[in-house]
Amino acid sequence: MNDSWWKSLSRIIWLTFTRILAPLMALGWPVLMAYGLVQPNALDLNAMRLGGGEVALLIGSSSAQRSYIVLPRALTTAGVLVVSDASGTPRVSEYPGHAIIVFLLWGVFVYCTWYFWIRAVPGASNNCWSDRER
């Protein structure tokens, strides 16, 4: 109880992000992308004017807008396309360079998931069972 409030808050935030949010995002983004491929929004695809051989990966969704990474178009600009339909007609905005941030964040989430949930747990310090086997 001698710690200041901001140290306790930072520990809670750190534990929340690394133990709870990281696995949800590491698994959730690929599931969201698969959902976007299986159930595409035709209005969004028409608004983005996809060319032949291009595929739109859904990376975010809210009630008024959806975010996509369009491959292979994003390989040159690393852009994220945001389709918003608040006014009734879809409007597309491009944010160059944001796809790099998305993939870096996903990499951090995968690493945190592996580090805190999947990697080998150290052995117990009580070795009484291993002594009996000898």
pLDDT in tens, the chain (134 residues): 577 888 888 888 888 888 899 999 999 999 999 999 999 999 889 999 998 899 999 999 988 899 999 999 899 999 999 999 877 788 999 999 999 999 999 999 999 999 988 885 666 666 665 555 55
Helix, coil or strand: residue 45: helix
pLDDT at 4: 86
Rounded Cα distance, 22 and 25, in Å: 5
Residue 85 CB contacts under 8 Å (≥ 6 apart), including other chains: 43, 64, 65, 91
pLDDT at 120: 58
pLDDT at 18: 84
pLDDT at 31: 95
Give the β-pairing of 65-71 and 80-84. Answer: antiparallel
The model's pTM: 0.77
pLDDT at 7: 87
Helix, coil or strand: residue 89: coil
